[in-house]
Structure 1
């Protein structure tokens, strides 16, 4: 399926109730993250100790944290961190996985075997373990988190792209293009990759939800974004010790993570139905 067909399928997914509701929430989160400086009068890193542990009110809709910082402000700015880290990491992973998988599936031989060994090796370990090892090597922070997430999810996109390429490389139109003297790069970029794009993009979207959880997990352990930069995981970490004194500190970031991940999965399911990927994979 071409990129245009994929975009048309996204439009069909948005017209379903499941896709519309989940898409609206995702749009709301993205817009809130982008326009955070306009939506809130507070700064996310300015402490106001006299107002520490303030319960939700008209002045602070979600309350304040242990340093008196407005929690809504930090949730909005935390969305910037969590979403940007997850989306950028998965984008890098998707691009790299498509390049490796397409080359391995099309050319085969020693390169295919080398890629397969590397992919199978990383596939055998849980993503959280790979991420923890890489963050321990690179060091805590946003950069280490992004590299860890990108590498942790590389295997699934490489495997998926390779399988798609191998399924369609023997099609008649591919053989015709070869007989007409088309270069390998042209065949890959013009025919093979566009026709394997839809399943990989959907897998990338679903993996973004997992990446948000992984980023929040690393932030909860203090290995993600470092203070005072807010992220949903680090906010939950600071609120875990204050659960009975100020539960809103952990509840609202936790809800943001949970609802956003559920929305991504629901929209991904609507997109799978719109693209009819399951039928296409069975036919392949």
Structure 2
């Protein structure tokens, strides 16, 4: 018997979701690129013969060559090594931030949607208020309060996207809590925690996880923006945003310093969005008539 998972009320066999997501050429291409970026972030700094912070001033502004495939920066540091290390920084910060935001938003939104009342009204008011501000503005304010650096960036991004997941989780729980199976479980004596964690939250996960996948791409852009302003990872730790910041003043002297990190951000975000579209198609969230497989 095939083991199955329940997502958003849809039962899918193990790995079937990923198989469906990559069944389209765009999904397969995006998934392959994301795996390549993750592998580069994990293994690149180990495989590279250079240290990301090793300065060789006599090789500064070297154009791409056999010795330095992507060239060097203003301090003679190997750009490919720093690009891979920057991938580790940017992906780690963005992924952890969105994970924290999802967990917090799912908990708050699920509790508000399930219990309702004054708590729901307070949560809704706070969420709607924060929803009215752009994420970049919230992140800039929080980084200014917390201070620049990786920890401050992660906290800022997590709070910036909290309202999105809380609002989505609340809407899902409010829709699901009136379902027949929930009423049946309640009539059999199931408590609030059992209903929330065994029935409601697992069946509300699908749209939240897809939204988290897409939000990760936005978080990468936000992290790069903060890094570009010097508010993200601090030197000598590279990130894609800080690399673009240092290369912006050298666009006409050494354009590769800004072009390659910019391409890394753009291609990774596009791949995340394409793969997210593949997940949406795989889950078929918009079609309630979808049959079980």
| TM-score tier after normalising by the smaller chain length | over 0.9
- Alpha-carbon distance, 1:279 to partner: 2.6
- Alpha-carbon distance, 1:7 to partner: 4.8
- Alpha-carbon distance, 1:218 to partner: 0.2
Verify the 8 A CA contact 2:45 2:84 in the aligned structure 1: no
1:21-170 matched pairs, under 5 angstroms: 21-170=29-178
SS at match of 1:2: strand
2:10 aligned with 1:2, yes or no?
no
Alignment-derived partner of residue 234 in structure 1: 242
TM-score, normalised relative to structure 2: 0.94
1:109-153 deviation per Cα after TM superposition (whole angstroms, max 9, x unaligned):
111111111101110100000000000000000011000000000
1:204-223 matched pairs, under 5 angstroms: 204-223=212-231
Higher helix share: 1
Alignment-derived partner of residue 245 in structure 1: 253
What is the CA–CA distance in structure 2 between the aligned matches of 1:2 and 1:74, rounded to whole Å? 41
Instruction: Give the unaligned 5+ runs of structure 2.
Output: none
1:188–1:7 CA distance, 2 compared to 1 (3 A): farther
Verify the 8 A CA contact 1:106 1:165 in the aligned structure 2: yes
- Alpha-carbon distance, 1:8 to partner: 2.5
Verify the 8 A CA contact 1:32 1:39 in the aligned structure 2: no
- Alpha-carbon distance, 1:172 to partner: 0.7
Instruction: Give the unaligned 5+ runs of structure 1.
Output: none
- Alpha-carbon distance, 1:230 to partner: 0.3
1:178-217 matched pairs, under 5 angstroms: 178-217=186-225
Moved over 3 A (4+): none
